[in-house]
Structure 1
Amino acid sequence: MLQNIPAITGLLLACTLLTANGVQAAPGLPAFSELSSLDAESGWEPLEFPKIEQHSRYQLVTEDGQQVVRSDTNGGASGLIARIALDPGDSLSLRWRWKVSNVFEQGDAREKSGDDYPARIYVAFEFQPDKAGFFERAKRKAVEVLFGETLPGNALNYIWANKLPAGEMVPNPYTDRTVMIATQSGSAQAGTWVTVERDIVADYRAAFGENPPPLVGIAIMSDSDNTGEKATAWYGDITIEPGP
């Protein structure tokens, strides 16, 4: 995704625009099943990107007797984000359920041209300047001045992949600051609700080789701006709580 963003922001893929002045201090995320709308007061707000004018569509719908968020993407990209401030501790369980209509034939998590997913969940972490080099700090500062946002640091992306086998993780083709984790792969389960539970702390350690800093945002996203394909996804409630 985001092939049209200037190079400096492309290097910060999945990190751009994921923080703001106000954050939720509580670990609980607004439940889609309990929302009356997806406006600014719902706790989920639009996640949009420079130079991408065509956005995915998000709406509350009733699917299989439960209120969920339906997303439709057709050559565009955008998401919904809940901004939080949460210390992950020794273990942090992220649980959700989702369903997709199809995967993208040209989707490939290892290639920029295939960096599209019918469904994904971002987990963004606080930036750690003491672990960054001079050029990275300067690059980030330029982006922050340009777009007026404080950027987070590393990110995990849980994806419904096409070619990447389930269970595998790879660096994002735009930036190694973001790691893609395939929780589902291929079309075998398309059209079926799938429940996923991940230990964010364990995944972060496996991805980056160290303990995670505080979380600053969790987002859902369906995007197809690279492949130009289309898909529908449904997202059920997302819960986050300390692990055992």
Structure 2
Amino acid sequence: MAQKPAANAEDQGNAELMFRAVGAGWHIATLPRQRMPLTAYSDAIESGEVALRLEAMDSYGPLVKSFYPALGLTQVAWSWRVAKQGDTIDLRKKNGDDAAAKVCMSFVWPDERMPFLDRQLMRFARSRSAQDLSAATLCWTWAGSEELGVAIDNPYTRRVRSIALRNASHVGSTWFNEKRDIMKDLRLAFGDEWPSGAAEPGVTAIFLAADADNTHSHSIAWIADFHYK
């Protein structure tokens, strides 16, 4: 996943954050030497819901909650609404790889499952990052015009794969409720690297994010009633 900073981005990335809608223990992740603005996250009351407000304006920086040791999660649920998003979002293209809202999870994933080239690229990426980069990250994404329910490889790295749950046709005043079987969706997205009979992997981090740096656009969204087990 991509990331980026303002003048005090490093300080914000190290700070532990608390939001009424999603609780404590979050921080904003940034890219190395990020110069772009950070996505803004704040508490809000929207349509009577206690919600996390996400506003991206040519910006990047996901909210991250890490777990040590990894958690054995099987289900995640939330409500969300997007009021505004860029009109050039395309999850299959680098210049369209943005989202007004997405929920992502990273997993314990043995490096030997990755193709040889991916292993080399991951080794290089880890050498340049202070973060513990996972070899498998799944995102449930509010997309552009992409078909819903289909797994999509990230155009920058196949170590991140998305399932579009909503798209531009759903932008407006309506809230949508989501309830996902984590392992079923992980199998859909990463089944080519998950041998039949292999143990279910633990979750090492959750990301709540909006970004608009690739499309140079502006988006506004809310996430509420977020929980997992």
- Do residues 223 (structure 1) and 211 (structure 2) align? yes
Structure 1-normalised TM-score?
0.76
Relative to structure 1, is the Cα distance of residues 176 and 139 closer, same or farther in structure 2, using a 3 angstrom cutoff?
A: closer
- With over 3 angstroms needed to count, the CA separation of the structure-2 counterparts of 1:64 and 1:140, relative to structure 1, is same
1:98: how far off?
A: 0.8
Q: In the alignment, is residue 73 of structure 1 matched against residue 61 of structure 2?
A: no
Closer, same or farther: CA 74–159 of 1 in aligned 2, 3 Å = same
The answer for the alignment partner of 1:213 in structure 2 is: 201
Question: How far did residue 185 of structure 1 move?
Answer: 1.3
Distance verdict in 2 for CA 1:137–1:111, change over 3 Å: closer
Alignment of 1:117-132 (within 5 A): 117-132=99-114
1:115 is the counterpart of 2:97: yes
Query: TM-score, normalised to structure 2's length?
Result: 0.81
Higher strand residue share: 2
Aligned to 2:225, the other structure's residue is in SS state coil
Letter in 2 for 1:158: W
Residues 74 and 129 of structure 1: is their aligned pair in 2 closer, same or farther, counting only changes over 3 Å? Answer: same
CA contact 1:121–1:157 (8 Å) conserved in 2: yes
d(CA) in 2 for partners of 1:194 and 1:95? 11
Aligned to 2:13: none
Unaligned runs of 5+ in 1: 5-29, 36-41
Q: In 2, distance between residues paired with 1:156 and 1:164?
A: 16
Distance 2:22 2:91 in 1: 33
Q: Which amino acid aligns with 1:86?
A: L
1:151 deviates by: 1.5
Contact 1:55 / 1:76 at 8 angstroms: preserved in 2? yes
Q: 1:33 deviation in Å? A: 3.1
Aligned length: 207
Shift of the alpha carbon at 1:3?
9.3
Alignment match of 2:36 (pick from 44, 53, 75): 53
Distance 2:115 2:158 in 1: 14
Counterparts of 2:190 and 2:98, CA distance in 1: 22
Tell me the residue number matched to 1:140. 122
- CA shift for structure 1 position 87: 2.2
- What amino acid maps onto 2:135 in structure 1? G
The runs of 5 or more residues in structure 2 that have no matched partner are 5-17
- Which of 87, 91, 98 pairs up with 1:105? 87
On the 8 A contact 1:2/1:226 being kept in 2, the answer is no
Give the whole-Å Cα distance in 2 for the aligned partners of 1:159 and 1:52. 25
- Distance in structure 1 (CA, Å) of the matches to 2:61 and 2:114: 28
CA spacing shift, 1:34–1:155, aligned 2, 3 Å: closer
In the superposition, relative to structure 1, how do residues 108 and 195 fare at CA in structure 2: closer, same or farther (>3 Å)?
same
Q: Secondary structure at the match of 1:113?
A: helix
Structure 1 residue 75, shift from structure 2 partner: 0.6
The 1:139–1:172 alpha-carbon spacing in structure 2 relative to 1, beyond 3 Å, is closer
Q: CA 1:108 to 1:151, structure 2 compared with 1: closer, same or farther past 3 Å?
A: same
Task: Name the SS for the 2:84 alignment partner.
Answer: coil
